[in-house]
Chain A
Amino acid sequence: MSNTTTKHNDSLLRFMTCGSVDDGKSTLIGRLLFDTKTILADTLTQISNTSKKRGMEAVDLSLLTDGLQAEREQGITIDVAYRYFSTGTRKYIIADAPGHEQYTRNMVTAASTANLAIILIDARRGVLTQTRRHSYLAHLVGIQHIVVAVNKMDLVNYDQAVYDKICADYQVFAEEIGLAQARDIRFIPMSALNGDMLVDRLDNMPWYSGETLLEMLEAAPAADEEQNAEFRFPVQFVCRPHASADADLHDFRGFMGRIESGDIAVGDAVTVLPNGYQSKVKAIQIGDAQLQSAQTEQSVTLLLEDEIDTSRGDMIVKTGSPIQPVKQIEAFVCWLSETPMSTARTYVIRHTTRESKAKVAAISYKVDVNTLEQQATAELKMNDIARISFKLAQPLMVDSYTQNRAIGAFIVIDESTNNTVGAGMIV
């Protein structure tokens, strides 16, 4: 693509932080923003005034992430907040999720767009139930890179033995749940309060020679960089300017969408699902720009050689790719709504750009997110995670979530309220 090689030839990393207020999560984010010079003078003045008002001596960096009035009043984080910073070489989007058990749904939400998770552990307390919960959820939602940050090292005299023990404990547990085998896990000792090993190394832990947190973030691959799935192009919108004043456009038929995975080039043989029509790619466009090929995460317009009746909700794949329309799916579902899931009701599943009515066929089991035990259950309440099979009214073209996050994910919608009530990951 011609306009990618501008001087901003960088990339973007989305990551999340898991931990509770007590672990210093807000301080960690505040410190990252502060040390990368993202916090501007007026904001700093504002939080330093608030810190003084609350009787604190030093500026409380955690105040940077208090968003809503209710959160400031209660001193807690309720909802996922998104923060931004840039190092000059890379742009970062942080999803800051509250860590308490009743906020499992927020963690799943934050994890759904992240490619790296920082899991915070308080050095004084070691691997806790919540560490296991955060790790399991990061694993379930398919985050590829895990950074285990052992924080508050200043409160254990920067003792290497404490750090080593926590790393060893975590490693054992990560192997138990299959995380260690499947994911890239790194460890780092730090003090977010003092700034040790975040942006600056400082000199309190000469025994640690690994990367600082920012070095890890700078080196971590972006999601589109390491994706290894087949070409999937859900059609979002069909452009047919047949009434245009320009007669050349009367036969124009552009299929607009985002390449959710893989890549495509002019001349490639494609199949449109669910109908199975076949054609070849005639042109690929972004606005006026004509491309010879395009890759994951680009939003493009595809023109095909043949006139094919295609509409929103169809999926264009490469001919021969192993994907078939199915009318039954099995998935891990995180329930997001205060109203429990009803096995008697019909829901709407939105998958890519397609929707289908769906009914629960069976709940296999529920997962206790703290012990990871499987339990039999007849219902699903908010924050529950269960393995469920659904019967579908309309066929969906699916991949397994572990193979392809975009094509393995769906949301469940309650048509009476239009609320998003569930998040699904296809097995």
Chain B
Amino acid sequence: MLTNKHQPLSHLDWLEAEAIHILREVAGQCSNPVLLFSGGKDSLCILRLAEKAFRPGRFPFPLMHIDTGHNYQEVIDFRDQRAAELGERLIVRSVEDSMKRGTVVLKTPDEPRNKHQSVTLLEAIEEFGFDCCIGGARRDEEKARAKERIMSFRDEFGQWDPKNQRPELWNLYNARSHKGENIRAFPISNWTEMDVWQYIERENLGLPSIYFAHNRDIIMRGGAMMPANIKLADGEVINIPKAGEEVINMQVRFRTVGDITCTAPVISDADNVSKIVLETATTTITERGATRLDDQTSDASMEQRKKEGYF
């Protein structure tokens, strides 16, 4: 077959072009979208993609963070700084407000709050009337995500029904929804953890300091390493060692940034992005496997949370 030979795009250029296309489809099809932004590495990539998609204009959506109240102060500071640099509007809604309203009830005071974000998120969606939430989830993160659509439909209760998803063909995305329903859009669905780090390196993106190797007091709890004695923004100290728990000072970094009580660090001396790229290439543990205790409850815990409205 006779064809014009093009130099193919590099995989990062291709992934970037796809993500920009998805962001612009959200902007073109939805009337009131919002970009979920936590200050974590995946959402920082999406901010850069949004700059490439919409500058010199403003983003056609605000940023929103659903704060569990159990976040590292460095990450919260970084989140605020980045939003200010971009000059974009940042909405923060907190799980603690949902707890005060009585819509989130914890089983125990130190229960991880990640899954309760779903409630606060749905409340915020209703408050602002958002018809689409853009998120940084990736299909390689977890096997329930491998079948997620790029534009994923959620019903009035925010539920994901894996057996009843819209077929998604070519790059023709269907982001339509009726009032009260919602679309979750995932522009970096096709990225792996490695792609994210390579993109951060190429684009020279800044990150919260906890992604890089640093010394920290660690306790072993439930078979995982837990950061000890973390002071929250409101002054409360959590992850206080219990009797019999040994505290060890180690050089660690975080591969994901989530609720402090369920996000474990890994031992690492990677103190810059290129060392992290190298470490990611040679690691033997999956990103969430080592570090996300909330995914280890059962084989299907992510799927269960998604059905309940988690992104």
Contacts and interface: CB of A to CB of B under 8 A. Distances in A.
Interface string B1-36: 111111111111111111011001101100000000
Contacts of B14: 11-12, 224, 297
A288 to B, nearest CB: 7
B147 interface: yes
A353 interface: yes
B283 A40 contact: yes
Given A84-B139, A297-B14, A286 B54 contact: no
A312 B30 CA distance: 13
Contacts of A70: 162-163
Interface residues of A, number: 86
Contacts of B170: 112-113, 405-406, 409, 411
A277 interface: no
A79 B165 contact: yes
A228 B12 contact: no
Given A84-B140, A423-B169, A298 B9 contact: yes
A42 interface: yes
A78 B194 CA distance: 28
B290 to A, nearest CB: 7
A40 B4 CA distance: 39
Interface string A285-305: 011100000011111000000
A42 to B, nearest CB: 4
Contact of A256 (B24, B140, B153, B286): B24
Nearest to B145: A67
B303 A68 contact: yes
A237 B57 CA distance: 11
Contact of A11 (B9, B57, B194): B9
B4 A228 contact: yes
Contact of A8 (B163, B181, B202, B300): B202
Nearest to A352: B172
Interface residues of B, number: 71
Q: Is the interface of A mostly helix, strand, loop or mixed?
A: mixed
Given A79-B162, A297-B17, A236 B25 contact: yes
Contact of A227 (B3, B12, B166): B3
B24 A91 contact: no
B297 interface: no
Contacts of A237: 24, 27-28, 54, 60
Contacts of A258: 17, 20-21, 24, 171
A105 B168 CA distance: 10
Contacts of B55: 287-288
Interface stretch (A116-124, A148-156, A238-246): A238-246
B11 to A, nearest CB: 4
Given A237-B27, A312-B28, A67 B51 contact: no
B6 A224 contact: yes
B53 interface: yes
Contact of B286 (A43, A109, A112, A312): A43
A3 B9 CA distance: 11
A225 B5 contact: yes
A108 interface: yes
A409 B12 contact: no
Nearest to A350: B172
Nearest to B162: A68
A228 B178 CA distance: 39
Contacts of A52: none
A80 interface: yes
6 contacts: A82-B147, A84-B140, A226-B4, A298-B9, A299-B20, A420-B167
Given A226-B5, A257-B21, A418-B181, 19 more contacts: A6-B10, A40-B283, A68-B300, A78-B163, A82-B139, A86-B194, A108-B169, A226-B6, A236-B21, A254-B56, A256-B24, A256-B54, A287-B51, A297-B17, A299-B21, A299-B24, A312-B28, A406-B170, A418-B178
Interface of B: 1-18, 20-21, 24-25, 27-28, 51-58, 60, 139-140, 143-144, 146-147, 153, 162-163, 165-172, 174, 176-178, 181, 189-190, 192, 194-195, 198, 202, 283-286, 289-290, 299-300, 303
